[in-house]
Amino acid sequence: MAQSFYLVFLFLSLNANANLFDFGTDGARESKIPSLIAKLKKVEIKDDAAYEEVFNQAVRALENGVEEEKLYCSGEAQDSEGKTLPPSQKQLCMRELKKHYLEATSAIFDLKKKYLGVIHQKHIQRLSEIQAKQKADIEKNF
């Protein structure tokens, strides 16, 4: 009976977001990396210099965000309120940062892959046009 009481208490405590083992995120600042990733994913892929500039700016913003959060998680920087991360929260912060960073690199990879596909299709189309022109010239001259 006592064991079930403790289990129920533990379950309710965890559901109430209790910080029993000091792994909670009380006071932790909100990461801006997910919003930067979402912004990057919304970039429309085009075969022009404007797309490359928008893409590069979004990637730079992501890289800067990761660096800022890395400094915050290591305790070297402060948040917007001037508070530093408590030492007990550093490991959790780094885990979250790692998760966001992996998601960001995947998003960057996917966009680069799609962009290369667009460029590849454009090159194939140009090559087909050149081949058609060469065939027409050969038919005309012989």
Question: How many domains does the chain divide into?
Answer: 1
pTM, rounded to two decimals:
0.69
Please give the structure tokens belonging to residue 133. 């022109």
Mean of all residue pLDDT scores within the chain: 83
- In angstroms, what CA-CA distances link 98 with 12, 59, 90, 127, 131? 29, 16, 12, 43, 49
Structural domain that includes position 42: 27-116
Do the domain assignments include residue 44?
A: yes
pLDDT at 28: 56
Between residues 8 and 77, the one the model is more confident about: 77
Do the domain assignments include residue 11?
A: no
- In angstroms, what CA-CA distances link 129 with 30, 47, 123, 134, 142? 52, 18, 10, 9, 20
Do the domain assignments include residue 33?
A: yes
Please give the structure tokens belonging to residue 90. 């550093």
**Angstrom distance (rounded) from CA 84 to CA 74:** 9
Do the domain assignments include residue 77?
A: yes
Do the domain assignments include residue 130?
A: no
Give 3's pLDDT tier (boundaries 50, 70, 90): low
